[in-house]
Structure 1
Amino acid sequence: MSRLPSPAARPVLVAGATGFIGRRLVPALIDAGHDVQAMTRRPDRYDGPGTAVGADIDDPDALFAALDGCAAAYYLVHSLDRGDFVARDAAAAEAFGLAAASAGVQRIVYLGGLGDEQDDLSPHLRSRQEVEGLLATGGVPVTTLRAGIVIGHGGASWEMIRSVVERIPALAVPRWALTRTQPIALADVVRYLVGVLDLDDQQSHTFDIGGAEVLRYVDVLSRVSALEGRPSIVVPVPVPSTRLAALLAGQALPLITGVDGRTIRSLIASMKNEVVVRDDSIRRVVPFEPMGYDEAVLAALGERARARRAS
C-alpha cells in the first residue's frame, strides 16, 4: 500500500465532528497537519477546532457543498437512538457516498463495527456493515475500521459499563457475559483513524482494530470494579438476552447511565456476537502497540474526572 508523502493540501471533512469520536479526531487531524472542515448541523454553535461547515445528512445539496473541494471525508454518523435506525443509516450512507463522488472526494474513512459476517449478527452490527457498502455507492474508495467497544469518556458502550459497575453492585447477566470481545481505547481508535488517511492506492480497505486483550464481557465489568476498588458481583444466568435488554432499557438504566433506552437495547442485543480482531493487518499499516484494557479504563476515568472538575 502506497502512502502520501505529506498531508494533502485540500481539506478533510469530518461528518460527526461534535460526536464522541469526532471531537477527539478533529484536533488530532489538525495536529497531523491537516486542514479540517467540521461538519455540523449548527455551525454557529460550534466552538471546536477546525472550520465549521453547516450540513445535514438528509440534505443532498448541503452535503455536496460541505464536501466540495475536500480530499477525503470521515463518516462518523449513526442514528442508534432512533427506532428506524437501520433504514435511516442506510439512506444517509448512500446519500453521503453519492455526494462525496459528485464533489470529487478521493477517500471516505468510516468507523464501523466488528463482527463475523457469517454470524447471526444483531441489527446494530449488521447495519454497521451494510453502511460500509452503501458509502461506496458513488465509487469513492472507502477505508473501514471495524471496532468493538471503544473505551473513552462519553462513549455509549463505555458509559453503560461504568455506570452499571458503579451503581449496581450485584448484576445478573445472560450467557452473553461469557462472549468474547476486544475493547479498544479511544486514543488508539483516533490514532488508527488518522493513520489510514494517507493511504493512496485508490482501493477500498477493511481493517479490524482492537486493544491488546481479548476478554469476556463478565471480565470487562469485573475489572472495572477492581480498578475502582468497588465490591461487585457479576453472575451469568440463563435469562434470554432479548428479555434482559428490554428490562435494562426501561426507565432505570437510562437514568443511571444517561444513555438512551433504544441505544441500550441495541448495544445489549449485540453482546451475543463475538467481536474480536480476526485480521491484524492494520498493525502493519499503522504500527504501534495498543493499550491494554486496564490502561484504557484508567484513561477514560481520568478524562471523566477532569471534565467534572472543569464543569
Structure 2
Amino acid sequence: MTSPVLVAGGTGFVGRRLVAALVEEGRSVRVMTRHPDRYDGPGTPVHGDVAAPATLAAPLRGCAAAYYLVHSLDSADFETRDARAADAFGAEAGRAGLEQLVYLGGLGRDGDDLSPHLRSRREVEARLAAGGVPVTVLRAGIVVGHGGISWEITRQLVEHLPAMVTPRWVRTRTQPIAVADVVRYLVGVLGHPDASGRVFEIGGPDVLAYAEMLERVAAIEGRRLPIVPVPLLTPGLSSYWLALVTDVDVRAGRTLVDSMVNEVVVTDPRIREVVPFAPMTYDEAVRAALREREDER
C-alpha cells in the first residue's frame, strides 16, 4: 500500500507506538486527533473526532487503510458512545473506499457471559464491518507496557501495598502480551492478503492467573507481596479500593475490574501463520515496561 494509512487513536497508549513503527517502515501515516495543533509526534496530524461524524470524511479521504484504536472506558455510557463512534467510522470508511480496517479488540470466548467492556468490544467489531470495509480484528487480553491502564494497576498495586487482599477472581486466567508485540501484530496484518476480514487472537507465551502476574512483578522488583483471597470483595468494592491505592481513573478501573471475571486466553493461534514471530514472555514484557518508565523519569 502506498496510499496514506490513518490511525484513529494514534495519540493513545498503543496508537503512538504504532504510528512510530509505521513511520519507521516508511509508511505515510495520518494521525487523527481532535487537537492537531498540539501534536508533536511522527506522522501527519489531521483533525477528526469519532464523536463528530462530520469530521471523519477529510482524514479518511485518499486512505487505503485505517486503524481503529478508540474506546471510551472513562465514560459512564461507554457502550453507547463506542457503538455510535464505530457506526460513524465504519460508514465513512466505506464511503471513502478503504480496503481494510484494523481493530484492536478484547479476548474472551463468545459463549461466555462477557463483561460490559468485552461485550462492547465485540459490538464495535460488528459495527465497524457494517460499513462494508473488510475488518481485521486482533483480540488481546492484558497489554503490558508503560502507561497502559491494566499495567499501571498491576504495577501500582505491587509497589504501593505491603500485602494484597483480593477477591476470588484473581485466580482467573489471562494471557498477557507486551505492547511491543501488539504493535508488531498490528503492523504485520496491514495489507496482508490472509488477514482481510479475519479475527485473530493474540497473546504472549504465558498463561497466568492475575495473582501470578502480581507475584511475578513483585519478584522482579525484589518485593514481597503476600496475597490473601477474600471471597466477599466484589468487583464494585474492588474498583473503589483501587482508587485509594492507584492513580488510575475510577470509572476506567471499574470497567476493567468487571472484565476480570472472564477468562481471556488464546484458543486460536492462527495469527502465527500470518505474522510469525516469538512474542516476549511476561517477565520480559514487565522488565521492558519498567525500563521505559525509568527512562522517562
TM-score, scaled to structure 1: 0.93
> Do the aligned residues in 2 keep the contact of 1:245 with 1:264 (CA within 8 Å)?
no
Distance 2:269 2:75 in 1: 33
Partner amino acid, structure 1, of 2:141: G
> Do the aligned residues in 2 keep the contact of 1:39 with 1:54 (CA within 8 Å)?
yes
Distance 2:194 2:225 in 1: 50
Distance 2:82 2:127 in 1: 10
List gaps (5 residues or longer) in structure 2: none
* Identity in percent: 61
CA offsets, 1:93-144, max 9 Å, x none?
Answer: 0100001011111100000000011101110011011100000111100000
Q: 1:296 pairs with 262, 274, 285, which one?
A: 285
Partner amino acid, structure 1, of 2:269: D
Distance 1:51 1:203 in 2: 25
> Do the aligned residues in 1 keep the contact of 2:175 with 2:208 (CA within 8 Å)?
yes
Matched, 1:155 2:141: no
Distance 1:243 1:62 in 2: 37
Q: 1:71 pairs with 57, 64, 74, which one?
A: 64
- Name the count of aligned residue pairs: 297
Q: What does residue 13 of structure 1 align with? A: 6
TM-score, scaled to structure 2: 0.97
Matched, 1:176 2:165: no
Q: What does residue 271 of structure 2 align with? A: 282
Q: 2:252 pairs with 248, 263, 285, which one?
A: 263
Distance 1:112 1:27 in 2: 21
Distance 1:103 1:248 in 2: 46
Distance 1:179 1:15 in 2: 32
CA offsets, 1:24-53, max 9 Å, x none?
Answer: 000101122210001000000000000000
User: Helix, strand or coil: the match of 2:254?
Assistant: helix
Partner amino acid, structure 2, of 1:298: R
CA offsets, 1:170-218, max 9 Å, x none?
Answer: 1111111111000000100000000000223684110000001000111
Q: What does residue 51 of structure 1 align with? A: 44
Which runs of structure 2 are paired with 1:136-151 in the superposition (5 Å)?
A: 136-151=129-144
Partner amino acid, structure 2, of 1:11: P
Call closer, same or farther: CA 1:246–1:186 in 2, change over 3 Å. closer
CA-CA distance at 1:244 after TM superposition: 2.9
> Do the aligned residues in 2 keep the contact of 1:159 with 1:259 (CA within 8 Å)?
yes
Which runs of structure 2 are paired with 1:78-227 in the superposition (5 Å)?
A: 78-200=71-193, 203-227=196-220
Call closer, same or farther: CA 1:302–1:201 in 2, change over 3 Å. closer
Partner amino acid, structure 1, of 2:158: V
List gaps (5 residues or longer) in structure 1: 1-7
Partner amino acid, structure 1, of 2:75: R
Distance 1:66 1:234 in 2: 49
Partner amino acid, structure 2, of 1:303: E
> Do the aligned residues in 1 keep the contact of 2:195 with 2:274 (CA within 8 Å)?
no
**Which segment is superposed worse, 50-59 or 295-304?**
50-59
Partner amino acid, structure 1, of 2:187: V
> Do the aligned residues in 2 keep the contact of 1:115 with 1:274 (CA within 8 Å)?
yes
> Do the aligned residues in 2 keep the contact of 1:174 with 1:244 (CA within 8 Å)?
no
Distance 1:123 1:169 in 2: 32
CA-CA distance at 1:245 after TM superposition: 2.8
After superposition, the CA RMSD in angstroms is 1.2
User: Helix, strand or coil: the match of 2:92?
Assistant: helix
Call closer, same or farther: CA 1:240–1:231 in 2, change over 3 Å. closer
Distance 2:125 2:81 in 1: 14
User: Helix, strand or coil: the match of 1:189?
Assistant: helix
> Do the aligned residues in 2 keep the contact of 1:29 with 1:36 (CA within 8 Å)?
yes
Q: What does residue 22 of structure 1 align with? A: 15
Matched, 1:229 2:222: yes
